[in-house]
Every structure is written in structure tokens, then in C-alpha cells.
Structure 1
Amino acid sequence: MIRDKSQNSLAPESSPKMVAQNFVVDLNKPLVFQVGHLGEAYEEWVHQPIVSKEGPRFFESEFWEFLTRTVWWAIPVIWLPVVCWCISLSVRMGLSCPHIALMVVIGIFVWTLLEYSLHRFLFHIKTKSYWGNTFHYLIHGCHHKHPMDGLRLVFPPAATAILLIPFWNLVKLISTTSTAPALFGGGLLGYVIYDCTHYYLHHGQPKSEVPRDLKKYHLNHHFRIQDKGFGITSSLWDRIFGTLPSSKVEAKSR
């Protein structure tokens, strides 16, 4: 197993692979430009979670460090007005209310597939090169290493704004002028629901059955079977594409 060098964490012993590479991650120093040096050992290291609400430092630069930290409530505060604005554009173009509602629902549904696809095929991509490891750590690896870091559970708004540009152009390409804003707004609303749900699953204390089961489902992905259970807001696409985790009994019997 791999060892993290830190005064504040206990970790397993170093693996032969790590010894051969002669590199140990120092958790007391900025991590982003360290993790690339792990090479093939990165995959093992990043999936050994450190359960602490205090997240690590990413960069020496205060500016870049600031951009990596986002409070959860910034997501609805920033993006819900954009959702409303998009829907209002379709209203002003004369789209009927039932038609707008349909576009919004379709947008949310499409987002759930995008959520699953990004999580499975991009966020869990296998890497071993320096820049591959670094990129993966920035987009998702950090979340698996420090799953309770409350300031890195939602996507930074600056990065979201950049990514929305190609998505908006794609929506305009596949829909009509009047339906595009409502469809895009629905997709963006799906994203807001996803990010707020994701935060709640890590830090909320659900009392009712549905959110409680969803929390167990997601934490199972983090702490037991990390190559299955890619859905966040639901297990729908995991069921469809065969990535639903096995039961606890089955997993223990292997």
C-alpha cells in the first residue's frame, strides 16, 4: 500500500512500486503538482480516502487556491437566475408553457445521462502519466482522496461558465431558436440539482428513506466499490448500463 507523508494522517505502509519510484506525497504541501509523480501508483493512492472535513492545499498561489474552493450555496445563487433567464427567453419568443415545461424536463433528463457519462468515462479514467494524473486529480481524484472536503464538493463556477459555452452551442445546433433556451435552462437546472444533491449526500443527515438510501448508495461508491455506482441523483443509468453495485453480502463473499 502507499504512504502519505503527513503529521496529521495515518496511512498504510509504502508499496514496492512507491519505493521503486522513490516518491512520497507530502500532505502538508500543495498537492496538485505532486500527484503526477506517482505514475502508475496514482490509481492506488487516490482511492485510499482520507476522511477529514479539512481539505488539502492545492496550489502555492493564493489566487489559484481560491478558485478551487466553492461553498455549496454559491451554485444555486449563481446558476438559478441563469436558468430563469433562459426560460424567460423562450417565453418571450412565444413558446407555450406546456412546451417550455416539456423542454425543461427533457433538459433535466439529458443532464442525468451526462452526469452518469462524465462520472464513469471521464472522472474515472485510468491515468499514469504526470499530466494525466494531475488533470484527473483536479477534476475528480481530489474528491475520492478527500471525500469530505466541503469546499471541493461542487464544481467551481468559473470552470462551469467556461464549459457552458460549448454546451450552449450544441443545444442551439440540435434545437430550434425558441426551444434552445428552455432546453439549455433545463439542463442547467439538472446540474444545479446534481451539485446540491452531491453536497447533501456527503454532509447532510437524511431522515426519510429515499435520500437516506441515496446517501448510502453514493458513499458505497466512495468507500467500497469505486468502479460502480456512478449515478449521483439516481441509480437509473447504473441499472440500464449494468454498473449497479452488487449487494453487501455478495461483495463480502468474493
Structure 2
Amino acid sequence: MAAAPLPERTVFIVSDGTGITAETFSNSVLSQFDTARFRQIRIPFIDSVDKAAAAAARIDQSFASEGTRPIVFSTLVNPEMNTRVRQANGLFLDLFQTFVEPIEQELGLRSSHSIGRSHTMSNVENYKNRIEAINFSLAHDDGQLVRGLERADVILVGVSRCGKTPTSLYLAMQYAVKAANYPLIPDDFERGALPSGLLAFRSKLFGLSIQPERLAEVRHERRPDSKYATLAQCRYEVAEAERMMRVEGIRSLSTTTKSIEEIATTVLQEIGLDRRGY
């Protein structure tokens, strides 16, 4: 007899900033429990005791209605607000207490305990670089602009809908990397050569590929019942694109089973780029 599925467990992401750090950490931790189901609730910008009390009330309400303690991931740095949320009936996992206090002891220094510090504009140069990289990636999306490619840190190439655009934008937003992307199309395969606009930047090229079956699914969502989305067309384009990458010596990877984070990290490592985001 099959075991009954586990009930959904509520997870609160409590932060004095955007909550992105706590959410990313919680996703990594909870992904280890693949037989459990979780419902995440983000409570950002807790910058007063009153807001901390309201967050605690929501956690208590969840416990009362569901009968199980919610899991609470917190990046609150203010001790008073932290204490107030801790009074709620939940499993409280404090990221700052876990990591910051041991580092304070090791360094013999007191941390700033400043609210929202990890996502402030305190480093104006880094912020400016990220905005510039995002604008660059948007302008050089899908081969729409060849001018300025000499300023690119990396140029992603591959067939249409293999993940070039989201990867380019992720690299720009997270790491301030100027990432352009350029599609390989049937005309390139018939000619048997890279697009002429890319020839001068071969050292910056990185190829993305994908399994034809998955590509057909993605394309069918965009243009159903078209030749563009047929499995035969997808098989032809993927095979030709991968052949061209081998001939041209372009480093590449398959995006089929990889997350955007994994793809971007591989690109950074293979191209040898510094992580210049946060």
C-alpha cells in the first residue's frame, strides 16, 4: 500500500530587506526534502517592531490553522525585531545568528547589524555596472545589434529558444556581465559558417544547446503546429548547431536539465570571468 502524501508545510521567509537571500538559502535547504511539499510566504522589509509583531502574528495564525509549526527562515539583523519574531510558534532558522556571530568571534570585530545592508546602493560603482550590463544585454538580445560587440564579456550562441536570453539577463543582473546573445539559424547551417558579425569575437563565444525533444516542446508553446516547432526541424537545427560548435572550437553545454543558475555559473567558469555583481 502506497504511503499517504505528506501534508504541505508552510515556510515563512522573514527579512528586513527584500528577502532574496533568505529565500535562496531556504530553496537550497528545502530541495533536499524532495518528498515533502512546501508553501512559501515571503515577508520582506521588516524594519520596525510593529512589523515584526505582525509577522509573528501571521506565523502564529498559520500554526493555529494548520496544526504544525511553520518553518521560518530569517535574515533579521536587529536584535529587538529578531526577538519579537522568535516569540512566534515556528521552527526559527536565523541565518545571521548562525553565520555572523561566529565570524565576529573569529575576526574579533563587531558587525554593523545594519538593516538591509546586503541590497543597498552603498557601492555605487557596482550598481552602475549592473545597470549598464542589463542595458547592454537587452540591446544585444537575439542578434538585434551587432555594433558594440567588442564590449561584450561573453556572446552566447545557439538555436532559437535554447535559453540564451534568460541566461544573458541573469548574468547581467547578478554579476554585471555584459552578455550578448546571437541565434544560429538554418541560413548559417546551409552556409556552413558562423554569422559574419561574430567572426571577430570567436574567443568570447559560448554555445548553448538543448535536446531536440525539449526544444520542440518549448517552440510549440510559442508557435504551435509550425514547421519551426516540429521535432524534425529541431533535430536538424540542434545537430547542425552542435556540429558547427565542434568545428569552430566553441565551448558549449546542454541547457536541457540545468537551471539558469547552473548555466550562468558554468559560463563564468569556462570564460574565466570575475563575479562582479554583489
Structure of higher RCO (CA pairs closer than 8 Å, 6+ residues apart): 1
Query: Could you state the TM-score of these two structures normalised by the residue count of structure 1?
Result: 0.26
Query: Could you state the TM-score of these two structures normalised by the residue count of structure 2?
Result: 0.24
Structure with bigger helix share is: 1
Structure with bigger strand share is: 2
Larger Rg: 2
